[in-house]
Amino acid sequence: MKQKLNFLDLFAGAGGLSEGFIRAGFEPIAHVESDQAACYTLRTRMAYHWLKERGSLDIYADYLNGGLDRNEFYSYIPEKIINSVINIEIKSATLSEIFQRTDYLLGNRKLNLIIGGPPCQAYSVVGRSRDKNRMQGDKRNYLFIYYAEFLKRYQPSYFVFENVTGLLSARDEYGRLYLDSMRILFYKCGYETEFKVLSSENHGVLQNRKRIILVGRRGKSTGFYPEPMQWNPHVKVCEAFRDLPKINAGGGTLGSCQVSPYYGRWHIEAGIKNKNGLPVTLHQARPNNEQDLEIYRIAVNLWNMSHSRLEYNTLPNRLKTHHNRDSFNDRFKVVASDLPFSHTIVAHIEKDGHYYIHPDLKQNRSITPREAARLQSFPDDYYFESNTGVPRRGPAFRQIGNAVPVLLAEKIAKKLFEVW
């Protein structure tokens, strides 16, 4: 049997990029990630894929239904699968250990591909605007140097490097663009690079999310960029929420919930709803005080009546509790159900849900982790872990907000097969 093309995922997060490549037929060798909760999410997902290949998803279902704790669940999975997720921060002092563990997992195979992108805060426009030093001196600016060390060691045929569009303008203390410095370094490692800004909504994701996707190919040839096929499913954002249980603020469950049997074209073609009867989890809304709920009602009514966004300073004085009235005047925002895509899901959703208000007035709440995951095109059987093994909204929201949309990743991966 022909071996699959394999990959190593660096700065893997919760695995959105990886999941897309797995769905396209690539085989993961290892994932490297510093966040502990995200690593548990990756281990659980690798366990899912291992069980699926063996027709044993009943064990996974038992775990999601609460019949097994995490340790019991992992006991069914080979240690090599669990240990393929390397929970280590990538830095000079840890490279040797990461290389050693990756070498063991590779065995005598050659590594075909490296994927992943360093944390984006140092390059993001918002991050720079909030930082008094405009992120100068932040160690995350130079994580691409360690990425290059992996390229030099393993010399894969290709690599796929993802990051925020702020990378196009982010400069170091000498005025040099980080993107230029990256490409020069990667060239010295033996790679031509090409990049484009891809918008998720052009590829079937119901979310406006633009990212730089830089692809490197070993050698000197050019014209290899794997630009994915565009897909417009011709649906509105309400499609992502249609079949989930209707709940109010503080309602729902982080455990298994009952989803309607509705299957829309987008659900099927985007791979959102599973056909194996697995539980749908993490559909629980934050509790809100009455003041927030009143603001939510105002915001939703304003959108429904005039397609206008709520400006914070237009609220009655009794509802204005934030001292900063000059910036972030759009801190309350509805996920508009009648548009073809939502605004961008970001990690700040972990802090509060005011920027992601559910469009249904009868529910009057912010969106749940499962709804956010659907807007990121994660399948319903994707489970987001916490450090402790007890499900929690916060870590799930953070991981979802930081992720690459699975559907976009899958389309890039499929196109990469064509140009390989």
CB 231 within 8 A of CB 206: no
Task: Please provide the size of the chain in residues.
Answer: 420
Amino acid at 380: D
Collapse the DSSP code of 389 into the 3-class scheme (helix H, G, I; strand E, B; otherwise coil) and give the result. coil
Q: What are phi and psi of 391, to 5 degrees?
A: -60, 140
Cβ-Cβ contacts under 8 Å for 27 (sequence gap 6 or more) = 3, 4, 5, 6, 7
| Residues known to be catalytic | 120
For residue 368, give the nearest of 346, 340, 393 by alpha carbon. 393
| Strand ranges, E, within 67-133 | 85-86, 113-115
For residue 30, give the nearest of 121, 150, 123 by alpha carbon. 150
Calpha distance 375→197 (Å, rounded): 19
3 state SS for 301-336: HHHHHHCCCCCHHHCCHHHCCCCCCCCCCCCCCECC
CB 177 within 8 A of CB 156: no
Cβ-Cβ contacts under 8 Å for 67 (sequence gap 6 or more) = none
Element containing residue 159 per DSSP (H, E): strand 158-164
Calpha distance 216→238 (Å, rounded): 37
Calpha distance 348→232 (Å, rounded): 28
Element containing residue 30 per DSSP (H, E): strand 27-32
Q: 181: how many CB neighbours lie within 10 A of its CB?
A: 17
Q: What are phi and psi of 158, to 5 degrees?
A: -140, 160
Residue 166 is given by DSSP the state G
CB 190 within 8 A of CB 218: yes
Q: 297: how many CB neighbours lie within 10 A of its CB?
A: 13
Q: State the residue for tokens 């840890």.
A: 94
Query: How far is Cα of residue 219 from the mean position of the Cα atoms in its chain?
Result: 30
Calpha distance 82→108 (Å, rounded): 20
